[in-house]
């Protein structure tokens, strides 16, 4: 399906306007995206899915997760028999390490999990501690704790504890990559984790003048810039054998597409084969996730194919 296909001509024009200038005022342009997609998502289908909110996977108030469970009216994924436990997708939101939560508003980011659940995947939306309370590598530790909790408990919600697929967006992509790649972080994926999806991830720490979120990088990775290289998960890509899907938008926060290309190169070089890579034409850093469950499903289908290919 063509990207932006379900937007009105007016909203497609608004997206085209903000795309080339996305990085000049990210907050203002992000508000435009939320204004476009939130009403669409309010009308989007959510039937056949049971939602369980704010289950604790740790002791901190932000260490909670939501579970989107498909009922029996939703067909199994391709290659699965009726009654089999569902594969588990774990969404890790962004927010420049210092802000954000699993609900930007009543629709976003739940829309990602509604869509996945409606297509046969058990969807998990996790919250985690921010940089002020859990600097590097706190995000990776929280993701690890959430996955361990899911491995022990997800079966009662119809999920397959042996098939967990973290999906990280932006800062969440950094947490997924650090957890999976960085050998200096003791918490590591186990046999339950079958693949990773990194969407617009900050896989390299930088405070360059081009980076409008440099304060967030300092808050999470520390003020000592000499440590940024060794704390950038991209440099350890060759240490991880898990399947990886990388996705970027055409209009990214400055340099995130460049760092994704670096991750693609490093994984390709180490594995002698390129991983799955998706570039979403016309989309920006926010709409690359805001569009889920609006009827446009190019990236969603890529994720489903990725999950099916790595059982």
Q: Could you tell me which of 26, 169, 44 has the C-alpha nearest to residue 94? A: 169
pLDDT value of position 5: 83
Q: Are 263 and 168 in contact (CB under 8 A)?
A: no
pLDDT value of position 2: 75
Beta carbons within 8 Å of 76's beta carbon, 6+ residues apart: 82, 84, 86, 120
Q: Which two structure tokens, joined as six digits, stand for 72? A: 């029996």
Decide: helix, strand or coil at residue 251.
strand
pLDDT value of position 97: 98
202, 262, 290 from 248: Cα distances, Å: 11, 12, 13
Strand order in the sheet with 122-126: 49-56, 64-70, 122-126, 86-92, 159-169, 196-199, 244-251, 276-284
Q: Which two structure tokens, joined as six digits, stand for 210? A: 């081009």
Decide: helix, strand or coil at residue 172.
helix
Q: Which residues pair with 244 in a beta bridge?
A: 196
CATH topology of domain 9-77+85-309: Rossmann fold (3.40.50)
Angle at CA 99, nearest 5°, toward 98 and 104? 160
Q: Residues 120-138: pLDDT tens digits?
A: 999 999 999 999 999 999 9
Q: Which residues pair with 247 in a beta bridge?
A: 199, 278
Angle at CA 267, nearest 5°, toward 265 and 271? 120
**Terminal CA-to-CA distance of the chain, rounded, Å?**
25
d(CA 26, CA 259): 18
Q: Which two structure tokens, joined as six digits, stand for 230? A: 């060794």
The single residue listed with the structure tokens 């979120």 is 213
Measured from the Cβ of residue 26, the count of other Cβ atoms closer than 10 Å reads 18
Beta carbons within 8 Å of 40's beta carbon, 6+ residues apart: 6, 294
Which DSSP state fits 283?
E
Q: Are 198 and 245 in contact (CB under 8 A)?
A: yes
Q: Which residues of the chain have pLDDT under 50?
A: none
């Amino acid at each position: 399906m063509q990207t932006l296909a379900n937007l009105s001509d007016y909203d497609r024009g608004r997206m085209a306007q903000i795309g080339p200038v996305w990085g000049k005022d990210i907050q203002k342009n992000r508000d435009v995206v939320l204004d476009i997609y939130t009403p669409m998502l309010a009308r989007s289908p959510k039937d056949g899915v049971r939602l369980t909110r704010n289950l604790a996977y740790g002791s901190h108030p932000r260490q909670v997760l939501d579970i989107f469970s498909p009922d029996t009216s939703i067909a199994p994924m391709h290659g699965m028999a009726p009654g089999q436990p569902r594969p588990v997708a774990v969404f890790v939101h962004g927010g420049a390490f210092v802000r954000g939560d699993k609900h930007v508003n009543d629709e976003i980011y739940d829309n990602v999990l509604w869509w996945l659940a409606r297509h046969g995947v058990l969807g998990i939306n996790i919250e985690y501690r921010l940089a002020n309370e859990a600097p590097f590598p706190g995000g990776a530790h929280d993701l690890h704790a959430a996955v361990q909790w899911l491995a022990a408990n997800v079966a009662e919600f119809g999920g397959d504890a042996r098939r967990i697929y973290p999906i990280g967006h932006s800062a969440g992509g950094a947490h997924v990559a650090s957890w999976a790649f960085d050998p200096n972080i003791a918490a590591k994926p186990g046999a339950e984790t079958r693949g990773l999806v990194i969407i617009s991830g900050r896989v390299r720490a930088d405070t360059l003048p081009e980076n409008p979120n440099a304060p967030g990088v300092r808050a999470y990775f520390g003020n000592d810039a000499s440590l940024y290289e060794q704390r950038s998960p991209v440099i350890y890509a060759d240490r991880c054998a898990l399947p990886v899907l990388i996705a970027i938008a055409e209009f990214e926060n400055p340099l995130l597409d460049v760092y994704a290309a670096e991750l693609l190169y490093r994984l390709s070089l180490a594995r002698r084969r390129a991983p799955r890579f998706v570039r979403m034409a016309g989309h920006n850093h926010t709409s690359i996730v805001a569009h889920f469950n609006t009827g446009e499903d190019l990236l969603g289908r890529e994720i489903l194919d990725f999950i099916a290919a790595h059982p």
